[in-house]
Amino acid sequence: MSRKPIIAGNWKMNLLQSDAKALFEGIKAFCADKSATVLPTIVIAPTFTSLSVVNSVKCDCGCGGTKISVAGQNCHWESSGAFTGEISVEMLADAGCSYVIIGHSERRQYFSETDEMINKKAKAILAKGLIPIICCGETLEQREAGVTDSWIAGQIKAALEGISSEDVAKSVIAYEPIWAIGTGKTCDSDEANRVIAMIRNVVKEVAGASAADSIRILYGGSVKPSTIAEQMSKSDIDGALVGGASLKAESFNQIIENTMTVMVK
């Protein structure tokens, strides 16, 4: 089973519209002379206010919008209503998104997102035909206490609760050890691969072998151009969710380029 790698850039709460446009144009220029079949799936998650500016430059290279997909960084599970400050999946789709990141550790930590909320969001995203990028990961304390696997297995089971095998197969999971996010401390590639293989087993348990074979599971946490080739060479790592290094076209494009050297699994 071959899974097309995904390189996703999570811009978090960074970049004004003009900077977002310039960065997106830099990534687009890099992709322009490469066919979609040799590129990984590229996903960019700008802030909500930059979605329209990014989409305005997205699809004019003749690729039909297939080379770079756009993601929301969060969503609400309801379609509309009195939820001040929230954004629905319909609104993200309307703004050109085909993916939505959910359950990022920063949202769990600073905005009290629970597994139950993440499950509702995943269902809403899939119901509208978009793809959730479901984040999971352990704190340093949990790692040191030896509960990494059971903690993550619990997060994944809760996030996928009640979702059909077919929808699980289309989804994306990002394993992001919290202690590796934005710290410059990358998780050892063999260890990241071990945890990701464990996640794949959990998916097999809850959604069957075919979904486990199809689902793409990314690593995230201080991914850099210098780390990606080794990470991508591992059996179960299907790509990366990149924060800091996605904020410069030079480093993000280099991550894409280095991924292309080890694309065929």
Nearer residue to ligand PGA within complex by CB, 122 or 242:
242
Per CB under 6 A, contacts with ligand PGA among 128-187 are: 176, 181-182
Q: How far is the CB of 199 from ligand PGA (least distance, A)?
A: 16
Please report whether residue 100 would count as binding ligand PGA according to CB under 6 A: no
The answer to whether the CB of 41 falls within 8 A of the CB of 69 is yes
Q: How far is the CB of 223 from ligand PGA (least distance, A)?
A: 5
d(CA 15, CA 252): 15
Please report whether residue 241 would count as binding ligand PGA according to CB under 6 A: yes
Q: How far is the CB of 176 from ligand PGA (least distance, A)?
A: 6
According to CB under 6 A, which one of 72, 96, 137, 220 is a site residue for ligand PGA? 220
Query: Integer distance in angstroms from the first to the last C-alpha of the chain?
Result: 9
* Total interface residues for ligand PGA by CB under 6 A: 13
What's CA 208's distance to the chain center, in Å? 22
Please report whether residue 231 would count as binding ligand PGA according to CB under 6 A: no
The answer to whether the CB of 10 falls within 8 A of the CB of 223 is no
According to CB under 6 A, which one of 5, 6, 7, 10 is a site residue for ligand PGA? 10
The answer to whether the CB of 9 falls within 8 A of the CB of 249 is no
Q: Left, alpha or beta for 42 (phi > 0: left; psi -120 to 50: alpha)?
A: beta
Q: How far is CA 74 from CA 12, 37, 125, in A?
A: 10, 28, 10
Active site residues: 104, 176
Q: How far is the CB of 59 from ligand PGA (least distance, A)?
A: 25
SS3 10: strand
Nearer residue to ligand PGA within complex by CB, 96 or 137:
137
Query: Nearest-CB residue to ligand PGA?
Result: 243
d(CA 147, CA 133): 23
Residues in contact with ligand PGA by CB under 6 A are: 10, 176, 181-182, 220-223, 241-245
